[in-house]
């Protein structure tokens, strides 16, 4: 088998485009199914992702893909923090497809996020992880995240 064939299916990180919308919507819906706070509604997830993809100043979605499918995604939203006096990232969605977990892909995707944040002069990355998922908490702690004394609260606007 030629070397080119061996490397063409090697997972690579890319910025998502509108052509990826259906596939990344499915992954976000999978993520929401394992969380308790939200009910997956395909139209809602698709609309939210489209809003990011169509306006890169709002955020960025990076995907880890091979030639066959998207293996994982990370969704970053951009905002300003008065506490640190600059631009910060809210890491909104992070999922590696269940068949690809435990292979280093999550760490690889986060390293890409760290480089992006550093290169673009973001000052902080904040994320929310599930209280009930000790595995995801351990993963993010191993990646350098730590618990905050802040308690997330929300109110849905209707």
Residue 150 lies in a domain: no
* Residue 63 or residue 39, greater confidence: 63
- Nearest to 137, CA basis, from 75, 103, 94: 94
Residue 44 lies in a domain: yes
User: Rounded mean pLDDT of 126-136?
Assistant: 73
pTM of the model: 0.86
Residue 117 lies in a domain: yes
DSSP 3-state assignment of 109? helix
> Are 18 and 53 spatial neighbours (Cβ–Cβ below 8 Å)?
yes
Alpha-carbon dihedral angle through residues 88, 135, 104, 49, given to the nearest 10 degrees: -50
Residue 148 lies in a domain: no
- Nearest to 53, CA basis, from 21, 91, 96, 88: 21
Residue 147 lies in a domain: no
Q: Is the pLDDT of residue 2 over 50?
A: no
User: Rounded mean pLDDT of 26-49?
Assistant: 87
**Largest CA-CA distance found in the chain, in angstroms, rounded:** 57
**What is the percentage of the chain residues whose pLDDT exceeds 70?**
92
Residue 158 lies in a domain: no
Number of domains the chain is built from: 1
Residue 34 lies in a domain: yes
CATH number of the domain to which 92 belongs: 3.40.630.30
Helix axis angle, 42-53 relative to 21-34, nearest 10°?
130
**What is the percentage of the chain residues whose pLDDT exceeds 90?**
62
- Residue-range definition of the domain harbouring residue 14: 3-142
* Residue 10 or residue 77, greater confidence: 77
* Residue 85 or residue 1, greater confidence: 85
- Nearest to 24, CA basis, from 1, 4, 50, 3: 50
Average pLDDT, the chain: 88
Residue 129 lies in a domain: yes
| 36 band by pLDDT with thresholds 50, 70 and 90 | low
Instruction: Give the number of other Cβ atoms within 10 Å of residue 109's Cβ.
Output: 21
Q: Is the pLDDT of residue 5 over 90?
A: no
Q: What is the pLDDT of residues 60-116, one digit of tens each?
A: 999 999 988 999 999 999 999 999 999 999 999 999 998 999 999 999 999 999 999
Which residues is 63 bridged to in the sheet?
14, 73
> What is the distance between the alpha carbons of residues 132 and 34, in angstroms, rounded to a whole number?
10
Q: What is the pLDDT of residues 11-20, one digit of tens each?
A: 999 999 999 9
Q: Per-residue DSSP letters for 70-89? A: EEEEEEEEEEEETTTTEEEE
Please tell me what DSSP assigns to residue 19. Answer: G
């Amino acid at each position: 088998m030629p070397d080119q064939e061996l490397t063409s299916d090697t997972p690579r990180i890319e910025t998502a485009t509108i052509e990826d919308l259906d596939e990344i919507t499915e992954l976000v819906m999978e993520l929401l199914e394992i969380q308790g706070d939200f009910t997956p509604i395909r139209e809602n997830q698709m609309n939210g992702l489209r809003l990011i993809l169509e306006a890169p100043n709002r955020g960025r979605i990076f995907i880890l893909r091979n030639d066959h499918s998207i293996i994982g995604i990370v969704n970053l939203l951009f905002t300003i923090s008065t506490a640190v006096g600059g631009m910060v990232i809210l890491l909104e969605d992070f999922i590696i497809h269940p068949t690809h977990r435990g292979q280093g892909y999550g760490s690889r995707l986060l390293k890409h996020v760290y480089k992006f944040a550093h290169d673009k002069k973001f000052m902080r990355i904040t994320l929310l992880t599930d209280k009930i998922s000790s595995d995801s908490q351990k993963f993010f702690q191993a990646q350098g995240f730590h618990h905050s004394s802040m308690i997330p609260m929300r109110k849905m606007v209707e």
